[in-house]
Structure 1
Amino acid sequence: MRTDYVLEVMHELVAFVRVAEAGSFSAAARQHGQTPSAVSRQVARLEKFMGVALLQRSTRQLRLTEAGLEVLERGREMVAAAQATVRVAEGHVGEPRGRVRISAPKAVARQLLHQPLLDFLQRYPEVDLHLMVVDRPVDALREGVDLVVRLTDDPPPGMVARALMPVRQCVLASPAYLAGRAPVHTPADLIAHSCIALGEQERDNRWRFVQGDEVVEVAVGGRYTVNHSEMRLAAVEAGLGVGCVPDFVAREALAAGRVVRLLPDWVFDNAYQGTAYLLFPASRHTPPKVRALIDHLLAALGPAAQPG
Structure 2
Amino acid sequence: MDRITAAQVFNRICELGSLSAASRAMGMSRPMISRYLAEMEDWAGTRLLHRSSRKLSLTPAGEQLLLQTQALLQVADGISQTELQQTVAGTLRISCAHFTTKRILNPLLQTFLNQHPALKVEVQISNQNVNLVADRIDLAIRVTNELDPNIIARRLGDCYSVLCASQRYLAEYGTPQSPAQLIQHNCLHYSNFAHGFWQFNAPDGTPIHADIQGNLSVNESSILLDAVLNDAGIAMLPILDAAPYIAKGQLTALMTEYQPQPLGIYGIYRSRLHQPLALKLLLEALKTAIHSANQQALASIGVETP
- When normalised by structure 1's length, the TM-score is 0.67
Q: Which residue of 1 aligns with 2:266?
A: 277
Q: 2:127 aligns with which of 124, 135, 139?
A: 135
Quote the Cα distance in structure 2 between the aligned partners of 1:232 and 1:23: 43
Displacement of 1:235: 0.3
Say yes or no: does 1:92 pair with 2:83: yes
Q: 1:114 aligns with which of 102, 106, 113?
A: 106
Change (3 A) 1:286 1:89: farther
Give the 3-state SS of the residue equivalent to 1:204 in structure 2. Answer: coil
Quote the Cα distance in structure 1 between the aligned partners of 2:79 and 2:180: 59
Say yes or no: does 1:235 pair with 2:236: no
The amino acid across from 2:263 in the alignment is G
Change (3 A) 1:183 1:275: same
Quote the Cα distance in structure 2 between the aligned partners of 1:261 and 1:187: 13
Displacement of 1:242: 0.5
Per-residue Cα deviation, 1:30-74 (whole angstroms, up to 9, x for no partner) = xxxxxxxxx95x432xx3xxxxx45xxxxxxxxx85289655999
Say yes or no: does 1:292 pair with 2:281: yes
Give the 3-state SS of the residue equivalent to 2:124 in structure 1. Answer: strand
Q: 1:21 aligns with which of 21, 32, 35?
A: 35
**How much is the aligned-residue C-alpha RMSD, in angstroms?**
4.2
Quote the Cα distance in structure 2 between the aligned partners of 1:91 and 1:69: 35
Displacement of 1:231: 0.5
Displacement of 1:249: 1.8
Displacement of 1:306: 4.1
Q: Give matches, 1:247-286, under 5 Å.
A: 247-269=239-261, 273-280=262-269, 281-283=271-273, 285-286=274-275
Displacement of 1:230: 0.8
> Identity, % of aligned pairs?
21
Say yes or no: does 1:66 pair with 2:51: yes
Displacement of 1:184: 0.9
Quote the Cα distance in structure 2 between the aligned partners of 1:236 and 1:87: 59
* Aligned residue pairs, count: 260
Displacement of 1:117: 1.7
Displacement of 1:107: 1.5
Change (3 A) 1:91 1:219: same
Contact between 2:240 and 2:294, CA under 8 Å: does it hold in 1? no
Say yes or no: does 1:223 pair with 2:208: no
Q: Which residue of 2 aligns with 1:205?
A: 196
Displacement of 1:216: 3.6
- When normalised by structure 2's length, the TM-score is 0.67
Q: Which runs of 4+ in 1 moved over 6 A?
A: 16-19, 72-76
Contact between 2:160 and 2:238, CA under 8 Å: does it hold in 1? yes
Quote the Cα distance in structure 1 between the aligned partners of 2:169 and 2:108: 35
The amino acid across from 2:44 in the alignment is V
Give the 3-state SS of the residue equivalent to 1:230 in structure 2. Answer: helix
**Structure 2: stretches of 5+ with no match in the other structure:** 11-31, 300-306
